[in-house]
Amino acid sequence: MSEPILDALERALGQRPVKLRSLAGGCVGDVRCATMPDGSRVVVKSDESAAPRLDVEGAMLRDLRERGGLPTPRVLHAAPSLLVMEFIEGSPGLSAGAQRHCAELLAALHGVRGDRFGYAYDTLIGGLAQPNAPGDSWIEFFAERRLMHMADEAHRAGRLGGRTLERVRRFAARLEEWIDEPAHPSLLHGDAWSGNVLGAGDRVAAFIDPAIYHGHPEVELAFMTMFGGFDRAFFDRYHELRPIREGFFETRREVYIAYPLLVHVRLFGGGYTGSLQATLHRFGC
């Protein structure tokens, strides 16, 4: 961690850490657990790139806590290049009890209504821009501001070929064949895969690394199936609170998975491109 970042941390908290330990996770910047002179610990995330936006992550964490009632680390300082958060004991890999608690928290979050799809400001997913200009149609929003935006970004980065880009365009144009409009826009965490939910015993300790906006709750559920970590304990409890309509696991989940696949193609390329192409092939695109 550079001297300018340490100086900024000292100005923000009034003291300089006596120990720094690297933490895993996150796609943006450097993440450390900092032990302060009084023995307390905080999480320090720094980004010394040309266009840091850690202040957006801080705003999202606050919004999830204040608007959605989710347990998130308390934000102690948020600036574009420096984010300081409460340290929370917990780890990925939820017990059955913690999965049920997670279902209860997300079901309540999805009950928080927005006036339109999108959000009051553009957010981030994995450090990538996530445009949130509001719209009245979920299908149009998901097609334009999620699928085509990320496909165009992946193409510009040289990680998605022109032919596959056109296949995504055809897929996005046909979304109404497979998905529909929700009853209302719901507040979403936006990136609730298992690595972004920390558990402690039978409870969720914290949600981290959000990518919030108002959308369809089913896209949230689809994200949660992508890398495992959530099983019947989660989905059965969620279904009790907010029934999951028939056809989600068989069809609509596969449609929504295209977005996180595109995010991973843009970030990493490689085998994610093949997974995306398989999804497009399944839907005849």
From residue 128, give the alpha-carbon distance in Å to each of 21, 151, 243, 266. Answer: 26, 12, 32, 9
Residue 12: exposure state from Cβ atoms within 10 A (0-12, 13-18, ≥19): middle
Q: How far apart are the first and last CA of the chain?
A: 46
Residue 50: exposure state from Cβ atoms within 10 A (0-12, 13-18, ≥19): exposed
Residue 191 annotated in active site: yes
Q: Please tell me which residue in 55, 191, 202, 209 is annotated as part of the active site.
A: 191
Distance in angstroms (rounded) separating the CA atoms of residues 213 and 121: 9
Distance in angstroms (rounded) separating the CA atoms of residues 285 and 283: 6
* Closest by Cα among 167, 123, 164, 116 to 146: 123
Distance in angstroms (rounded) separating the CA atoms of residues 128 and 236: 32
* Closest by Cα among 77, 29, 34, 35 to 209: 29
Q: 82 pairs with which residues across the strands?
A: 46, 79
Pair 221, 244: CB distance under 8 Å: yes
* Closest by Cα among 104, 157, 102 to 126: 157
For the annotated catalytic residues, the residue numbers are 191
